[in-house]
Amino acid sequence: MSGHDIKLEVCVDSIKSAFAAEAGGASRIELCSALGEGGLTPTVGTLKTLKELSFNLPIFCMLRPRRGTDFVYSDEELHAVLTDMSMLRENGADGFVFGALNPDRSIDAEKCRMVLSKAEGLPVTFHRAFDLTDPKRMHENVELLKELGFKRLLSSGFRPTAGEGVECLAQLIAKHHRDIIVIPGAGVKVTNLEEILTVSRCREFHASAMETASEDYSVSTTSRMECDVTMGKQDIDPYYGTCQNVVRKMVTIATAMSSR
């Protein structure tokens, strides 16, 4: 199919999930906090601990200072992003994941340039903020991302999941694969992975690789304390982490597809 290995990037928000991704055969992790909020900037302590524990995969750190789907950042928020970035880079980050938009949903080139400059040569992925931009200008926007210096683009093809947007992803990959790596992500599961890989012909894909039973999560990775005190959304939606076996299944599928 591809003539090269198809790499799996696993998004994680805990040390336990990071090691599950490594044990399952992932090629890289996207380190976040709060995946339940779509993934926010991770703590320096989490990154530093992984490095001290001899975690062997490249670690790309999310740069997202708050929740929300606008990705329109104030100067103060960008200052926080750049401050986090400096500390993460100094503590061993191998790359970063970032995206910023203008109020009209166009790409905020100025803020992106500032982040790319601060990366000091480390690769930066433009994340799914891309999926909020105008689909009619998708090729023009990818050209802008390439000009700015982004090495990868994470996208679901302007749809809620990569499975639904796979035809659009295939168009992006066919046109731009020589200059930027387009990574299908969002809703990628064992059950739809082969179709996504076949149609998109991607070189890399992105998943949380959580254990599921059909469409429902099976086993929580944290314990629920029985008490009258609530701490937020996790009291309703238990925390689930990356499953080593799901990672391994995905890697097995990708390996088989690579040899076709």
Percent of the chain with pLDDT over 70: 88
Instruction: Provide the pLDDT confidence category of residue 73 given band limits of 50, 70 and 90.
Output: very high
Task: Name which residue leads in pLDDT, 234 or 35.
Answer: 35
Find the mean pLDDT for residues 111-120: 97
Beta-carbon contacts of residue 186 (< 8 Å; ≥ 6 apart): 128, 156, 160, 161, 162, 206
Instruction: Provide the pLDDT confidence category of residue 212 given band limits of 50, 70 and 90.
Output: low
* pLDDT for res 240: 79
- Low-confidence winner among 43-57, 63-77, 141-155, 208-222 (lowest mean pLDDT): 208-222
C-alpha to C-alpha distances, 62 to 33, 88, 237, nearest whole angstrom:
8, 10, 23
pLDDT digits (tens, 9 = 90+) for 128-160: 999 999 999 999 999 999 999 999 999 999 999
* pLDDT for res 164: 97
Find the mean pLDDT for residues 172-177: 97
Find the mean pLDDT for residues 21-32: 98
Q: What angle do CA 4, 149, 208 make, to 5 degrees?
A: 55
In the predicted structure, residue 231 carries a pLDDT above the cut 80: no
Instruction: Provide the pLDDT confidence category of residue 259 given band limits of 50, 70 and 90.
Output: confident
* pLDDT for res 235: 52
Q: If you write DSSP's letter for every residue of the chain in order, what string do you get? A: --SSPPEEEEEESSHHHHHHHHHHT-SEEEE-B-GGGT-BPPPHHHHHHHHHTT--S-EEEE---S--S-----HHHHHHHHHHHHHHHHTT--EEEE--B-TTSSB-HHHHHHHHHHTTT--EEE-GGGGGS-GGGHHHHHHHHHHHT--EEEE-TTSSSTTTTHHHHHHHHHHHTTTSEEEEBSS--HHHHHHHHHHH--SEEEE--B-EETTEE---SSPPP-SS---SGGGTS----B-HHHHHHHHHHHHHHHT-
* Assigned CATH for 7-218+230-259: 3.20.20.380
What is the residue-averaged pLDDT of the chain? 91
Q: Is the dihedral of CA 19, 25, 30, 34 positive or negative?
A: negative
* Structure tokens given for 128: 């799914």
What gap in Å lies between CA 84 and CA 171, rounded to an integer?
35
Q: What is the pTM of this model?
A: 0.90
Beta-carbon contacts of residue 62 (< 8 Å; ≥ 6 apart): 30, 31, 32, 33, 39, 40, 41, 42, 96, 97, 98, 127
Instruction: Provide the pLDDT confidence category of residue 7 given band limits of 50, 70 and 90.
Output: very high
* pLDDT for res 227: 55
Percent of the chain with pLDDT over 90: 83
What residues does each domain of the chain span? 7-218+230-259
